Structure 1
Amino acid sequence: MIQRYTRTAMVFHWLVAALIAANVIMIWVVDSLPDTMARPVIDTHKSFGITVLGLAIMRVLWRATHAPPALPPGYPKWERWSAHAAHGVLYLLIFCLPLSGWMHDSAWKEAATHPMYLYGLIPWPRIGWLTAIDPAQKDYWHDLFGRVHTAFAYVLYAMVVAHVAGALKHQWFDREPELQRMLPGRDAVGLKAEEPR
């Protein structure tokens, strides 16, 4: 029987993955958009980022009370260690990316004249100590947090490639049902896998 993640863990995983993928696409294309479209895209990027932060908090709380399924017993020790390390880095990134983006936005010198609204509806605060920085210093801090945010993004790209490559290696070369662990469905003998909500 396939040992699957819980349905809730699957929802968190795929929703966070979809939001991050959408945010990456938006940032890749925003510079090619006309000015009238660029600002709404950037605002949506911010909304998605804050949503990812909220989902990350809920995901960690869920993970703390719901143990993930065990890795197949045939995996060597180094692969087990690598899988746990990769997951740890990915968890850190889903916090560090939105937090660094929020800091980048909060240090923007024009933030006071461009209030932030989640999805254009819900007022969202900037980080107070960053908005209070001397205006003459804001460009420095805005650029610094922008570089940090970008650096985290490049680490994310590398980790996603490693994460996907590892999953596909286990699925195709090791003949383990790795992808099915994070997908709803039935196991190989047609019985519903045991899976708490």
Structure 2
Amino acid sequence: MPLYKSISVNSQTTVKIWKIEESYHDLMKPLDLKPNSLERVLGMKSELHQRGFLSVRHLLREFGYTDQDLYYDDNGKPHLKDGKHISITHSFTFSGVIISDDEVGIDIEKQRDKISIIAHKFVDYEFDYLDKNSEDYIGRLTVIWCVKESLYKLFATPGMVFKDHFLVIPFMLKDRETVAWIDYEDKKYRYNTAFLEFEGFTCAYVVP
């Protein structure tokens, strides 16, 4: 399947999402991968991960880039050679890329009940406005996870903890947006956050 969704966040920022339905072979065929990218994809034990990796390269093509334009720093954060900011995600059958003139982050997660079991590991303040018995509990937990994961990708600083350093302001699923804060080493950073749901998945992205 070609591009699943394209979102113009603002004049400098675009999100593109891919639904991964192609085979590994069909995804690989049109791509020209750098040697280290090829080594990386061939070393993956799961075809699901291989297809996720390759679908991200197809999203790059949708933006007018190639695998050669992408590189990673020592913290594993992706960068583009032209200086624009990029964040990447994939989960099962969906992948996403956000590109902007500003620092950005994106995450896609499959909505699963088991997230409630690990909620205590990434939720603190947010428990004040969450109702564990509500129908949307899993959906809102998944949004909080995606927002915090997006912030973590944006900041890419070892030592940051979801529960301690990231804060998601109260929201309802119908809002489709909220505000998030990073509180780290006596500094506070505010981010605008948007989220959407599709086919049992949640996507969130953050911009300053």
TM-score norm. by structure 1 comes to 0.24
Structure having the higher helix fraction is 1
Larger Rg: 1
Structure having the higher strand fraction is 2
TM-score norm. by structure 2 comes to 0.23
Structure number with the bigger relative contact order (C-alpha 8 A, sep ≥ 6) is 1
